[in-house]
């Protein structure tokens, strides 16, 4: 089999999605799961962008084993040196150097002549190569560049030691046929020994199709992100690229990826939970309805033979999360065992707290399945992260006749804090009470409610974004009651705001591609 390398950029391009702000612990958690999933390369971040980005890339390079750990860099030596500093501890590392080659980017953004860009590319790649043998080069906005000039710059990069040429369709303008032709043109024009990679944005909804056209034309690396996260409309969705290649092995004859597809659904849920970006219900491969059959005729067909209406076995992508794993009689041992199986390793106080929360929920919800468990543990407790405020109780009064009123008791570890608040509805009142108790106020810029699984006792899952005077943070809360879930989500966002305020540089992006 000819391997198509999967280069995951969830933590770099994906993190550039508006409103996503992952801290180091969350990035590490995702990187560990990407390693479990079997990606070949993790682009862990853009180290020069901020101290927070640097710290996260360095932490991942130090502890995540398996994939190559890549850091993004512009061509300037300061960028390259910083990228190397962050990734140098990795078992295998890569510096990903980029500079724009399209006329509009060179003239309006870089204010450089084509010759200057060529010289920059050569110097940046050579500098990166002085640190590591594994250097990737990207001519940013490659698809809209003059192909001859783009190939000249790529040739300079290869001559200076780049082993991978990544051809970005930065603004998602390409159509599959054109993009495929561009990949073929690179092979015909640039001499040397290199792997060609695709990097397609989804502005026309064609990122996956374009990436696959690249593969058909010889690309052997695809840059993609879990759930298709990324700038604007996002990048090619990793799960879709991988499953298209696998499912249509008749078409992609002789090529495959090294992805452990059974981990796809879990990875998608984790990324959704930590980024606060919900997965569309009908999203291919990982959406909750991707294997649901509604029409009677379909249900009948599937019962007779799954293949009447399914081209993929749900189990193959880890979509069978409905099996019951625990109930209210389960003990701490079974609980911790189940978490371990999900790759959630909790110990000490974190395990005790998670177990208490699990028991509370199991009292109200008979069956706790895998998806519930993940949501409870990670959304409510935030693995390994110390939260300033925790919820002790929430009581509500009022309704359609009387103004809704909420009473909340929180603890900040040292003492209990009580406060109350009124609002237009129960959720509004609960949020007002938490704002009063914590002193953190702001504007809710996003608010989504859904259920973790199906059924009347499904856990309500609330994802929101809070803008507290310019400090933006996402929060997620899970509970059997939607008001409580909303309050927990709000508190999670408040805790994150407090953490970010303590480390303001974490979110200050100095630069961005």
Residue 221: CB minimum distance to ligand KIV, A: 12
Q: Which of 14, 67, 124, 513 binds ligand KIV (CB under 6 A)?
A: 513
Looking at the DSSP assignment, which residues form a beta bridge with residue 448?
A: 463
Q: Comparing C-alpha atoms, which of 338, 345, 284, 348 is closest to residue 312?
A: 284
Q: For residue 418, how far is the Cα from the chain centroid?
A: 36
Q: How far apart are CA 135 and CA 82, in angstroms?
A: 15
- Name 287's Cβ contacts closer than 8 Å, sequence gap at least 6: 279, 280, 281
Choose between 202 and 263: whose C-beta lies nearer to ligand KIV: 202
Residue 145: CB minimum distance to ligand KIV, A: 11
Residue 167: CB minimum distance to Zn ion, A: 12
Contact segment (CB under 5 A) with Zn ion among 10-18, 139-147, 330-338, 427-435 equals 10-18
Could you give the angle at the alpha carbon of 475 between the alpha carbons of 31 and 6, nearest 5°?
Answer: 25
Q: How far apart are CA 203 and CA 209, in angstroms?
A: 12
Judge whether 93 and 76 are in contact, CB under 8 Å. no
Binding of residue 240 to Zn ion (CB under 5 A): no
Binding of residue 13 to ligand KIV (CB under 6 A): yes
Choose between 122 and 168: whose C-beta lies nearer to ligand KIV: 168
- Selection from Zn ion, ligand KIV, none that 98 binds (CB < 5 to 8 A by kind) is ligand KIV
DSSP 188-213: HH--SS-EEEEEEB-TTS-HHHHHHH
With left for phi above 0 and alpha for psi between -120 and 50, is residue 254 left, alpha or beta?
left
- Selection from Zn ion, ligand KIV, none that 124 binds (CB < 5 to 8 A by kind) is none
Contact segment (CB under 5 A) with Zn ion among 8-16, 173-181, 271-279, 371-379 equals 8-16
Q: How far apart are CA 74 and CA 79, in angstroms?
A: 6
Residue 124: CB minimum distance to Zn ion, A: 18
Binding to ligand KIV by CB under 6 A, coded x per residue (else -) over 151-170, reads ---------------x-x-x
Residue numbers 123-142 binding ligand KIV by CB under 6 A: 138, 140
Tokens of 44: 């862990």
Residue numbers 70-109 binding ligand KIV by CB under 6 A: 98
Binding of residue 120 to ligand KIV (CB under 6 A): no
Binding of residue 13 to Zn ion (CB under 5 A): yes
- Selection from ligand KIV, Zn ion, none that 138 binds (CB < 5 to 8 A by kind) is ligand KIV
| Alpha helical stretches, state H, 130-281 | 147-159, 176-189, 207-216, 238-247, 264-275
Residue 237: CB minimum distance to ligand KIV, A: 15
Judge whether 38 and 295 are in contact, CB under 8 Å. no
Interface residues with ligand KIV (CB under 6 A)?
13, 98, 138, 140, 166, 168, 170, 199, 201, 513
Interface residues with Zn ion (CB under 5 A)?
13
């Amino acid at each position: 089999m000819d391997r198509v390398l999967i280069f995951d950029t969830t933590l770099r391009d994906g993190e550039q999605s508006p409103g996503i702000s992952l801290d180091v612990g969350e990035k590490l958690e995702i990187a560990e799961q990407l390693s479990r999933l079997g990606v070949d390369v993790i682009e862990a971040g853009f180290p020069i962008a901020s101290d927070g980005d640097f710290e996260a890339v360095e932490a991942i390079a130090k502890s995540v084993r398996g994939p190559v750990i890549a850091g993004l860099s512009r061509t300037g030596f300061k960028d390259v040196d910083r990228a190397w500093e962050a990734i140098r501890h990795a078992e295998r590392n890569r510096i990903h150097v980029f500079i724009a080659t399209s006329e509009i980017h060179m003239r309006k953004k870089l204010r450089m002549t084509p010759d200057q860009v060529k010289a920059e590319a050569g110097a940046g790649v050579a500098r990166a190569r002085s640190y590591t043998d594994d250097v990737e080069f990207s001519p940013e906005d490659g698809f809209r560049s003059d192909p001859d000039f783009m190939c000249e710059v790529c040739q300079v990069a290869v001559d200076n030691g780049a082993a991978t040429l990544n051809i970005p369709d930065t603004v998602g303008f390409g159509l599959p046929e054109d993009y495929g032709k561009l990949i073929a043109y690179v092979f015909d024009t640039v001499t040397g020994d290199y792997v060609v990679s695709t990097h397609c944005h989804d502005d026309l909804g064609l990122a996956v199709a374009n990436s696959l056209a690249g593969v058909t034309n010889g690309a052997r690396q695809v840059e993609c992100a879990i759930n298709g996260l990324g700038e604007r409309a996002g990048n090619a969705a990793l799960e879709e690229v991988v499953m298209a290649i696998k499912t249509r092995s008749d078409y992609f004859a002789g090529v495959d990826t090294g992805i452990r597809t059974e981990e796809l659904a879990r990875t998608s849920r984790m990324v959704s939970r930590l980024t606060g970006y919900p997965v569309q219900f009908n999203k291919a491969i990982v959406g909750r309805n991707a294997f649901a059959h509604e029409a009677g005729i379909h249900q009948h067909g599937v019962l007779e033979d799954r293949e009447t209406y399914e081209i993929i076995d749900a189990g193959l992508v880890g979509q069978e999360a409905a099996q019951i794993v625990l109930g209210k009689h389960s003990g701490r041992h079974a609980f911790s065992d189940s978490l371990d199986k999900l790759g959630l390793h909790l110990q000490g106080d974190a395990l005790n707290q998670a177990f208490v929360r699990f028991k509370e929920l199991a009292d109200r919800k008979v069956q706790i399945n895998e998806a519930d468990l993940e949501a409870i543990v990670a959304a409510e407790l935030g693995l390994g992260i110390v939260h300033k405020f925790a919820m002790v109780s929430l009581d509500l009064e009022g309704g359609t006749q009387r103004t809704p009123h909420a009473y909340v008791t929180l603890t900040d570890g040292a003492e209990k804090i009580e406060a109350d608040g009124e609002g237009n509805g129960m959720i509004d009142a609960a949020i007002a009470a938490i704002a009063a108790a914590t002193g953190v106020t702001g504007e809710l810029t996003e608010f989504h409610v859904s259920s973790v699984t199906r059924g009347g006792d499904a856990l309500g899952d609330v994802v929101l974004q809070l803008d507290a005077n310019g400090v933006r943070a996402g929060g997620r809360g899970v509970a059997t009651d939607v008001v409580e879930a909303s309050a927990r989500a709000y508190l999670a966002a408040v805790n994150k705001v407090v953490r970010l305020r303590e480390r303001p540089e974490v979110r200050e992006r100095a630069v961005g591609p």
